[in-house]
A and B are shown apart, each in its own frame.
Chain A
Amino acid sequence: MSRESQIAEDAAAWIDRLNQPAFDAAAGPDFDAWMAASPRHRAVFAEMQALWQSEALVEALGTAACVPAAAIPPAPRVDRARRGRGSAPRLAAAACAILVAILLLVPMLATTRYRTGPGESRTVVLADGSRVDLSGDTELHVRILPWHRGAELVRGEAYFDIRHERSRMFRVASGTTSVRVLGTAFNVDRQSPTRTAVVVYRGAVEVGVAGEADLVLHKGDGARVVDGQVTAQPRIAASAPEWKSGWFEASDVPLAVLIGKVQRYSARPILLEDRGLQVLPISGRFHISDTDRALQAVEAAYQVDVAYGKDAIAIRPAGGPGNP
């Protein structure tokens, strides 16, 4: 072993010892002596300790955890002496092939797609016993594997009541936003491809963007992720998300987001083509499950015209061209 790799292994061994719940007092002077012995010892230890505690490692291990430990025999001891020469490699190759097949097939078979149309809502119970309430015009892909639980919110909004499991984390992805939990109840609202809102109703979750853990939310906390930027939101006291009763509390959200939510309940497409209106900040409480009422409220409070066509509803600036 080269000197450098010996240093690395020694440093790693010290990190492991230091991170035990009880650091053996007798080892203290030895550790200080090892550190004092060489600047290289100190440098490698400092870097390695930072690496061991880094979020990057947690994230990388989180994806590595998808590799099935269950598929590996607990103590793979092959008695080579007794088997004929050449059969061990063949067996290993066969085992690899089977493992690859499992890795490729299981996720495909295990992905379940749930969809709701506009105005529809639906409650599903997942294979692990967790419950998910889907809002209108929502699509959710769920994968429950022996070593991993995950869901992707492709569009729309869903309320998750996740069954607690100590060793199997549940991860919800919405665009680049991800929510990680062990067991809790929370709501994820994919308002646009780059905008997601999360509110926690029980327990705690971790919200992150592009693999970086960013914010831990506890019961009553909410967060908004817009273009990869996480911001905490004012605390809420409700015990269930508002959309379940057909309401939406808008606090300075673009009109396009509100219309997107109204659209979840409306079979007729709602057209909002004016760029200025799309980003118009809206505040207020809207009865989104009642399309006409919600749009009337918008029309009354903001400078917009709502035109009800046979196939579509169009929202335009008030008094603008093209209005009847």
Chain B
Amino acid sequence: MPATLPQIDTRAGEPAVEDWRAIAATLSRYVRARTSRVDVVEDVVQETLSRLVHQGRVQKLVSIYALGFRIAANLLVDHHRRDRRYVAERAEEPVSQAPLPDRVLVGREAVAILRDALDAMPPLRRDVLVRRRLQGQSCAAIARDLGLSPKAVEKHITRGLADLHKAMPGEAIACGRGR
């Protein structure tokens, strides 16, 4: 999505227009990776930007990027819920609501790739990831349960996530790993 920011006029103490462009492009990349619906991408990014601008004028932001990602994630959840309701209302028209085939394919492919990447990891690392992401355990609890130091747990999550990202195809690979 092109970063169109007509409604944002920069005031003193706010990020410059180029910074807003960077923020918009980053959020857009994130939202595109989470939904295949083009209209949703544009909606979520624009709404996130306008809330960031508003929030920034009300209070000093701890981190504009951290807040941006959180707002975008929440908006995605809202969109998702609205879609669910829509499907429920139109239960008798299953054909029009069928997920796009390419999206299903991408979803299954992604699961298979991630599964392979997880299989290739040391079992302990995989276990740490399962506990953190699937079971929502805190790092402290994982460290206690597995007899690791908090630092080691952190390392396993960081390395594991980097491995998973590396395994995924797409722009990450296109941009090269310098090999």
Question: Does A25 sit at the interface, judged by CB under 8 A?
Answer: yes
The docked-state distance in angstroms from the alpha carbon of A210 to that of B117 is: 19
Q: Which of B27-44 contact A (CB under 8 A)?
A: 27, 29-31, 33-34
Check A16–B161 contact: CB distance below 8 A.
yes
* Residue of B31, B129, B145 most packed against chain A (CB within 10 A): B129
Question: Does A18 sit at the interface, judged by CB under 8 A?
Answer: yes
Smallest distance from the beta carbon of B157 to chain A beta carbons, Å?
Answer: 5
Q: Is the interface of B mostly helix, strand, loop or mixed?
A: helix
Check A64–B115 contact: CB distance below 8 A.
yes
Smallest distance from the beta carbon of A49 to chain B beta carbons, Å?
Answer: 6
Check B115–A60 contact: CB distance below 8 A.
yes
Closest chain B residue to A23, Cβ basis: B66
Among A30-38, A110-118, A184-192, A236-244, the stretch that binds chain B is A30-38
Check A48–B129 contact: CB distance below 8 A.
no
Question: Does B110 sit at the interface, judged by CB under 8 A?
Answer: yes
Smallest distance from the beta carbon of A139 to chain B beta carbons, Å?
Answer: 27
Check A36–B22 contact: CB distance below 8 A.
yes
A144: which B residues are within 8 A, CB to CB?
none
Question: Does A46 sit at the interface, judged by CB under 8 A?
Answer: yes
Question: Does B162 sit at the interface, judged by CB under 8 A?
Answer: yes
Smallest distance from the beta carbon of B91 to chain A beta carbons, Å?
Answer: 4
B54: which A residues are within 8 A, CB to CB?
none
Question: Does A307 sit at the interface, judged by CB under 8 A?
Answer: no
A314: which B residues are within 8 A, CB to CB?
none
The docked-state distance in angstroms from the alpha carbon of A158 to that of B87 is: 26
Q: Which of B77-135 contact A (CB under 8 A)?
A: 84, 87-88, 91-92, 94, 97-99, 104, 107-108, 110-111, 114-115, 117-119, 123-124, 126-127, 129-130, 133-135
Smallest distance from the beta carbon of A193 to chain B beta carbons, Å?
Answer: 17
The docked-state distance in angstroms from the alpha carbon of A185 to that of B62 is: 44
B104: which A residues are within 8 A, CB to CB?
210, 212
Question: Does A93 sit at the interface, judged by CB under 8 A?
Answer: no
The docked-state distance in angstroms from the alpha carbon of A21 to that of B104 is: 32
Check B133–A16 contact: CB distance below 8 A.
no
Check B158–A57 contact: CB distance below 8 A.
no
Q: Which of A24-71 contact B (CB under 8 A)?
A: 25, 27-29, 31-32, 35-36, 39-40, 42-65, 67, 69
The docked-state distance in angstroms from the alpha carbon of A54 to that of B114 is: 11
- A51-B157 contact, Cβ under 8 Å, with A58-B133, A64-B130: no
Closest chain A residue to B70, Cβ basis: A18
Question: Does A9 sit at the interface, judged by CB under 8 A?
Answer: yes
B146: which A residues are within 8 A, CB to CB?
74-75
Check A229–B26 contact: CB distance below 8 A.
no
Check A232–B108 contact: CB distance below 8 A.
no
A87: which B residues are within 8 A, CB to CB?
none
Question: Does B12 sit at the interface, judged by CB under 8 A?
Answer: no
Q: Which of A4-28 contact B (CB under 8 A)?
A: 4-5, 8-9, 11-13, 15-16, 18, 20-21, 23, 25, 27-28
Given A12-B162, A232-B91, 16 additional A-B pairs, CB 8 A? A16-B154, A27-B63, A29-B63, A42-B25, A43-B26, A47-B171, A50-B30, A51-B164, A55-B107, A57-B114, A60-B117, A61-B129, A74-B146, A224-B91, A233-B91, A252-B92
Enumerate the 4 nearest inter-chain pairs by beta-carbon distance, A residue then B residue, closest first: A50-B33, A28-B63, A232-B88, A28-B62
